[in-house]
Structures are given as structure tokens and as C-alpha cells.
Chain A
Amino acid sequence: MSTLEIQDLRVSVATDQGPKEILKGLDLVVREGETHAIMGPNGAGKSTLGYALAGHPKYSVDGGSVTLDGQDVLAMSIDERARAGLFLAMQYPVEIPGVKVADFLRTAKTSLSGEAPPIRAWIKDVRGAMEHLRMDRSFAERNVNEGFSGGEKKRHEILQLELLKPRFAILDETDSGLDVDALKVVSEGVNRAREATGLGVVLITHYTRILRYIRPDFVHVLVDGRVAEEGGPELADRLEEEGYDRFLAAAAEENA
């Protein structure tokens, strides 16, 4: 059984004022097929966790370890991490002018599997996945993320998730900026991927809304760079009622 294991992870981000410590010793174990919601107030370090796992150059790991089935993820380059089975669905996907979605998807698939996918089966897969996500066929001929609406960008991220079939996916605020209909469509895509491949999911979110559609097995509350509380889905319900106030008060006391 595949396992993604994060131990005592410490990460800082480069800012104009020098490096700023964001994650201050984070522990998390995600097994194949499990869905972990990472919740927390703004500035807690949720997105930093996603970027650090994917290897974004702006984030530097100051300590701790990340392993995927015992392999050292932190020693891998960005693309090696993806080839090892990690996927980050981005909160703000960037535009890549002149690169068509269809070409991008095929190049990514070829890079991940080491060989070009059989053309007919691949086209069928792409069309099928696009239909499930209610994406028009013309989408494949557009340039990557160029002129996409917020909802289209998120669908495109989940399209990649379904087609590239990673072992572990980090979804960074995939719910932000989506209306209820789009949220359902995107959530269904994540659920299909979970069922089809036994995907392990790290679901980063500020709000509990998406958890109605993607049921988490575990909920972790991230406050000030550490896990402040952990529990089952019922913890999300409690957060829905109470918000993050009690955690923020505790963190302020600790820092005082």
C-alpha cells in the first residue's frame, strides 16, 4: 500500500524582507485511498504545504522529511516528484501562451509514462474526461489557461488529475471561486479519480462547503504552521459551527 509520509516539515518562503518561516514542524501520513482535509485560517501555511510538496523554487525546506513509499521526495526535482506520483492541483494555474491544451496533456502523459499513449485510446480518454467535467470539445484547442474563467481553470486542473492518474493529489483550494454547480462537477471528478485509482487526496480548503461533496476520512486543522487538532469528518462539522476563532486565540497566546 502506497504511503505519503510527512515528518516535522519546516518550510520558509522567500520574501522581499528575507526568508519567512511558514511551516513549523508539520506531521501528516496519507495512505492510498485516504482523503485528508487540511483546514485552517488564512496564513496558516496550507498553500505552502502544497507548493513545498510539489517543489516550487520559492519555498525552501529547512527541516523534516517527506517520503513516498520510502523514497525521499525532497531530493527529487519538480518533474521527478510528478513522475513519482505526486500531483498538485493549483489554486492559480498560470497561462502558457501558444501551447494548446491537447498538446500539453499529451506531452505530460508521455513524460509521466515514459512513452506516448496509444493515439485512439488517448483521444477517447480525453474526450470522455472532458464530457464528465462538462467541458466543450473546443477546449482542447485553446491555449493552456489562457483566457480561462476561474471555473474553467479548476475544471482543467481536475481534467489533468483524471487523465494523468497520480498516486497522491494535493488539491489547493480547488473550491475557491466556484459556484455550486461547478463545485459539484469538480468534486465528482475528484471522486471518480478516488474510485478509479485508489488516489490518496490532500484536500486543502478554508471552507467546509467542498467537504459535503468530497467526504474526508480525516480532518487536520492547521494553525500557524502546525497541526493544531485532528479528527474525523465530525471535526469539519464543528468548524462549520465555530469557525477558527478558538485556534487563533490559542496560537496568539502561545506566541505571546
Chain B
Amino acid sequence: MEPHSHGGDAAGWITPVQTRDERPWSYDPADFGAPVRTDPAWRYSDLDRLAPLFDASGVTGATVADGDFRPEDLVSAIALQRAVPRRLVADGRLDVEVRADGDAVRAEHLVIEAPEQAVATVVIEHAGAGALAENVEILVRPGAELTLVTLQLWDDGAVHSASHQAVVQRGATLKHVVVTLGGAAVRVNPSIRLEGDGAQAQLLGLAFADAGQHFESQVFLHHVGRHTRGNVTYKGALQGASARTVWIGDVLIGPDATGTDTYEQNRNLVLTEGARADSIPNLEIETGEIEGAGHASATGRFDDEQLFYLRARGIPEAEARRLVVLGFLAEVIQQIPDAALQERLTAAVERELGR
């Protein structure tokens, strides 16, 4: 299906989007209006605090991506126009630090390519208290195995909107992990296309939102090739007044994606009163010949029976809660293939719990 709004085809904007794949895109920021609530891409976003990222002054629509990257929102188009792309070949281990400080908005466009049969881990770490508009373009060549971890360890006050677009080719595997523990308003939207036959993706997310923090992830998993496998597991913990998480999960099984096996789930643990988790799983299936497709969403308070069990063994309440929360989030942390990083993130979650 061809994208239908390239080049400012105004009529394309009015037609309601029927499937996730038909969402309009453009290289030119001018084609996107200021984000509004009625736009599905921004419906649950923190528009007020992300506003500095919407400033397109001085930006033209001159740059055209040379790969498959298709900006689907204003911030992504601005980042494409402003940033000088950084091209990284992923083979073995690669660490990328992205800092944003001060008032000026930083724009970043990373292009990460895992060559054929490569086995690679890329860790992108975000820090600072500034503002970042970011694109991450990911290409996993045939037979490659790429783990990409993006850490949002921002200081209070940071704002960040990121669009990840990945193409996974024949027989390749992508493990994509989004960990958001800090920042004021953070929005990381991975869009993964399982293009080649037998391509696989495991998409994981962990968010721990404190009072006043707004963390969002819109996850799009598109099964295009035959016998592709997908698993999406996003977990959120919320603590404190007006802590907010948003998860929108779209899985689309295309007409040729026979033999697909896919599952998406979002689970949230609300630790205190006054927090809010939005969770919206969507599943579209355009072929009848699939192996399996499912989705689940659950948002709940602390399980009193779990606390009772631990406390009945002498474990004090605060320690019991710590164990349950860490256990809940461990499913994601344990999937990161780096023991030192696992320990660091576990310690970071413990600090969050102590806040």
C-alpha cells in the first residue's frame, strides 16, 4: 500500500486513517500542522511540555531521507531537516551517548545498520535536562541479530520525542528495548517492519513514571513477510500524583504475511493514588492464514495476596513492595544482554522506588 500524503496532498489529511499503515507522512514539517488532540498521533501526548519541539522556524522541507525513513509527525520531520545524520555500522557492541542541555532544542538522526549475519548490541543513552527531537533509523540485514536498547535516563525537566523506524530483513532478528526512567515528557515511538520472510522482533519497554512525569510509547509492529514472529511486552510502574504513562500498541498483519505468530501485551502497576495509565492495544489482520495473534492489556494496583505471602514470611511491607515491583519489571530488565547494565537499571529502579 502506497503512503498517500507525500508532498502535501491536503485531501489525504481529511480522510480518516483506516489502518495504521495508512498514516500520513512527509519530509516537510510544513505539511504537519501544530499537533492537536484530534490527531491520533498526539491524542494522549503531553502537548504543553513537548511544545518546544514543535518549533519549525527556519526549517525548510529540502532534505529527503535516502533510506526508507518516513517522518510521521512534526517533530520527526523537524529532526530530519535539522540533524546531520550519524551513520553507525552495528557489529559487536556499540555505545552511543546523546546529551541535551540548555534551552536550544537538539536534533538527532541516527542511522544504524546491522550488516548481514552480524550479531550486535547498540545502547543509546540519553541524559541531561534539555530538549531532544530524535529519529532512529534501523536496518537489520538478512540473518543479522541486533539488540537495540534506548535508555531515557533524563534529569527532571527534559523533554524528548523520538521516532524509531526499523526494517528487519529475511531471517533477521531485532530485539528493541525502550527504558524510560527520567524526564518530564518523554515519547519514544518505535515502528518496526518485519519485511523479510522469517524476520523476528521482540519489542520490550519499561517505564517508571514518578509524580508529574509523562511517558509515552506508540509501538507499531507491521508483519509484511511470511512466517514472521513478533512479541511486544511493555511494562509500566506509576508512583505519585499525576504520574502518567501512555501505551498504544498497533500490530498489523499484512495480506502477504501468512504464517505470522504475534503477541502484544502491556501491563501497568499503579503504586499510588492519582496516577493514570492509558493502554490501547490494536490488532489488524489482513490475512486468514496465520499461526497466532493475540493481545492483552492489564493495569492494576498492588496485589494484596502477593504482599501477604511475602509479609507472612517476615519480610517488612516496604521490602515486600520493593520485591514485587522489581519482580514485575524484571521480566524486561532480564532480557537485556548485558549484566552490568541490568544491575545499573535495577539500581535505578530501586532509587525510583525510594523517591
Q: Footprint of B on A, CB under 8 Å?
A: 54-57, 77-79, 81-83, 87-88, 90, 93-99, 103-104, 107-108, 111-112, 143-144, 160, 164
Give 17 pairs: A residue, B residue, CB < 8 Å, sorted on A. Answer: A57-B304, A78-B308, A78-B311, A79-B312, A79-B313, A79-B316, A82-B311, A87-B312, A96-B306, A96-B310, A97-B328, A97-B330, A98-B329, A98-B334, A104-B310, A104-B323, A108-B314
> Chain B residues with Cβ under 8 A from A96's Cβ?
306, 309-310, 323-324, 327
Chain B residues whose CB sits within 8 angstroms of the CB of A82 once the complex forms: 311-314
- Interface range on chain B: under 10, 10 to 19, 20 to 34, or 35 or more? 20 to 34
Question: Is B326 engaged at the interface, CB distance under 8 Å to the other chain?
Answer: yes
Q: Contact between A143 and B327 (Cβ–Cβ < 8 Å)?
A: yes
Which residues of B290-322 are within 8 A (CB) of A? 303-306, 308-317, 319-320
A56 to B311 Cα, complex, angstroms: 10
Partner of A99, one of B308, B317, B327: B327
B313: chain A residues within 8 A (beta carbon): 79, 82, 87, 104, 108, 111-112, 160, 164
Is B343 positioned at the interface, with any CB of A under 8 Å from its CB? no
Q: Are B314 and A111 in contact (CB under 8 A)?
A: yes
- Whole-angstrom CA separation of A90 from B313 in the bound complex: 11
Q: Is B331 an interface residue (CB 8 A)?
A: yes
B: residues with CB less than 8 A from A are 303-306, 308-317, 319-320, 323-324, 326-331, 334
Q: Is the CB of B328 within 8 A of A111?
A: no
Minimum Cβ distance to chain B for residue A204 (Å): 15
Interface centre among B305, B312, B329, B331 (most CB of A within 10 A): B312
B327 and A112: CB pair below 8 A?
no
Residues in A neighbouring B303, C-beta threshold 8 A: 94
Q: How far is the CA of A164 from the CA of B306 in the complex (A)?
A: 19
Closest Cβ of chain A to B104, distance in Å, is 41
Q: Which residues of A contact B308 (CB under 8 A)?
A: 54, 56-57, 78, 94
CB distance from A17 to the nearest CB of B (A): 20
Q: Which residue of B is nearest A89, CB measured?
A: B312
Question: Hey, which chain A residues are within 8 Å of B316, CB to CB?
Answer: 79, 111
Query: B315, A98: Cβ atoms under 8 Å?
Result: no
Q: Are B326 and A54 in contact (CB under 8 A)?
A: no
Chain B residue at minimal CB-CB distance from A82: B314
Interchain CA distance A118-B9 in the complex, whole Å: 72
A93 to B319, CA, bound (A): 19
Rounded to whole angstroms, the CA-CA distance of A17 and B323 in the bound complex is 34
A54 touching B312 by the CB < 8 A rule? yes
B314 touches A112 (CB 8 A): yes
- Residue of A55, A79, A94, A95 with most chain B CB atoms under a 10 A cut-off: A79
B90 to chain A minimum Cβ distance, whole angstroms, is 29
A88 to B312, CA, bound (A): 7
Q: Is the CB of B326 within 8 A of A98?
A: yes
A93–B304 CA distance with the chains assembled, in angstroms: 13
Whether A98 and B311, one on each chain, are in contact in the complex, defined by CB atoms closer than 8 angstroms, is no
Nearest chain B CB to A145's CB is how many angstroms away? 8
Q: How far is the CB of B235 from chain A (nearest CB, A)?
A: 10
| A98 in contact with B330 given A79-B314, A108-B314, A112-B314 (CB within 8 Å) | yes
CA distance A55 to B314 in the complex (A): 12
Report chain A residues within 8 Å CB of B328: 97-98
Known contacts A95-B306, A99-B323, A107-B319, then 10 further A-B pairs from the complex at CB < 8 Å, ordered by chain A residue: A77-B311, A79-B317, A79-B320, A82-B312, A83-B314, A96-B309, A98-B334, A99-B326, A108-B310, A108-B314
- Taken together as a complex, chains A and B put the C-alpha atoms of A108 and B315 apart, in Å, by 6
Residues of A within 8 A of B330 (CB): 97-99
CB-based closest 9 A-B pairs: A98-B327, A98-B330, A82-B314, A78-B311, A108-B313, A99-B327, A112-B314, A79-B311, A111-B314
Q: How far is the CA of A236 from the CA of B57 in the complex (A)?
A: 87
Q: Which residues of chain A are near B331, meaning CB under 8 Å?
A: 97-98
User: In the complex, are the beta carbons of B315 and A79 less than 8 A apart?
Assistant: yes
Q: Cβ of A112: which chain B residues have Cβ within 8 Å of it?
A: 313-314
Alpha-carbon gap, A61 to B323, bound state (A) = 29
Which chain B residue has the least Cβ–Cβ distance from A54? B312
